[in-house]
Amino acid sequence: MRSPRLDLNLFVVFESIYEKRNLTRAAEALSITQPAVSNALARMRKAFDDPLFVSTSTGMVPTPLTENIIGRVREALQLLEASATEGDVFVPATSERTFRLSMPDLTEAMLLPALGEVLQQQAPGMSIECYFTPRSDMSTALATGKIDFAIDVPLVDDPQLRQAPLGNDHYACMLRHDHPFAGDTLAMDDYLALGHIQVSSRRQGSGFVDAELKKLGKQRRIQMRVQHYMVAPLVALRTDLALTAPIQLLQRHDARIFELPFRLPNLEWHLYWHRSSEQDQAGLWLREKILELMSGKARAPKQQKPKRRSAQAAS
């Protein structure tokens, strides 16, 4: 039976060892001595009757027991921290918090310039770090505190997470201004005759656009596959390739933009955070800023409207 009197501070050391994979670096992060970390680990090992971490040439490797409990330990530490600061008055101008966000490159481009401007004016000491977290790892990353917020499509279903819609965007097609195609609208035959850029982080498989075309019994010709949305317009601007992407991305470039000759569902973005951080005042402030900026309430640059399809082309 595990001791009910286990010092809660030991779990802080435990989490730091897990994060740093090294006793000395864990001690430096906690501003304590390395022998104090070793002593804490010894007490934890005795309490759990497990080595918890195994020393190897590459660092301290967690045991299966450690991997099983680290998520709950981190969640508990977050809850304790939130409880201790819940009554504090959050002052953006003096905050030195660091928030870690996960999002694809497209939403980085849409959010970070405006968010950076807001932080510079209202919370100059606050820091933002961005990472890409696979959708399959998002819930764990939010629960364990590896990230504070995530922006993704509404396909994540976890009762431990909270979410809010950030708005949506529709798809259009982009061609460079001096492209050989001279029409004012794109009919389906025109679209399928073009060479296309596909954006996908996967090595193979059809994308969202191609899946919708397949439902219509159609197939486009993919001539280049890229990993990130932000590079795709640069390719389209220097080639005869067409890019189908969210219109907010396309309107950032001086190019011809066409309505698609077929229907695509709008692209939706949701903001996710863990329920344990629900009452964190700094997190609540940042969450409201992200929601405001992504919903279009903040100042936005003037944008070129896409060319509309004619009734004949739409039929």
Clarify whether residues 249 and 182 are in a common domain: yes
Residue 210 lies in a domain: yes
Specify the pLDDT at position 50: 92
Clarify whether residues 136 and 279 are in a common domain: yes
Clarify whether residues 287 and 155 are in a common domain: yes
DSSP class of residue 275? G
Clarify whether residues 273 and 162 are in a common domain: yes
Residue 302 lies in a domain: no
- Widest distance between CA atoms in the chain: 78
Q: What is the pLDDT of residues 265-285, one digit of tens each?
A: 998 899 999 888 887 889 999
Residue 300 lies in a domain: no
Residue 3 lies in a domain: no
Residue 306 lies in a domain: no
DSSP class of residue 307? B
Using DSSP's 3-state secondary structure scheme, residue 243 falls into strand
Clarify whether residues 51 and 120 are in a common domain: no
The rounded percent of the chain whose pLDDT value lies above 90 is 52
Q: What is the CATH number of the domain that holds 97?
A: 3.40.190.10
At 21, the pLDDT band (50, 70, 90 cuts) reads very high
Q: What is the pLDDT of residues 176-225, one digit of tens each?
A: 999 999 999 999 999 999 999 999 877 766 688 999 999 999 999 999 99
Is the pTM higher than 0.75? The answer reads: no
Clarify whether residues 160 and 183 are in a common domain: no
Pairwise CA distance, residues 298 & 119, whole Å = 13
Instruction: Scan for tokens 């039976």, then name that residue.
Output: 1
Clarify whether residues 138 and 15 are in a common domain: no
Q: What is the CATH number of the domain that holds 69?
A: 1.10.10.10
Clarify whether residues 149 and 202 are in a common domain: no
Clarify whether residues 131 and 274 are in a common domain: yes
Mean pLDDT estimate for the chain:
86
Residue 313 lies in a domain: no
Q: How many other C-beta atoms can be found within 10 angstroms of the C-beta atom of residue 63?
A: 14
Q: What is the pLDDT of residues 113-156, one digit of tens each?
A: 999 999 999 999 999 999 888 888 888 888 878 899 999 988 77
Backbone angles phi, psi at 299, to 5 degrees: -60, 135
Clarify whether residues 60 and 184 are in a common domain: no
Clarify whether residues 257 and 282 are in a common domain: no
Pairwise CA distance, residues 51 & 85, whole Å = 33
Residue 107 lies in a domain: yes
Residue 100 lies in a domain: yes
Clarify whether residues 46 and 69 are in a common domain: yes
Please tell me the total count of domains within the chain: 3
Specify the pLDDT at position 306: 44
Specify the pLDDT at position 72: 83
Pairwise CA distance, residues 152 & 155, whole Å = 8
Residue 179 and residue 293 in contact, taking contact as beta carbons nearer than 8 Å: no
The rounded percent of the chain whose pLDDT value lies above 70 is 88
Quick check: 241 pLDDT over 90? yes
The parent domain of residue 69 ranges over: 8-85
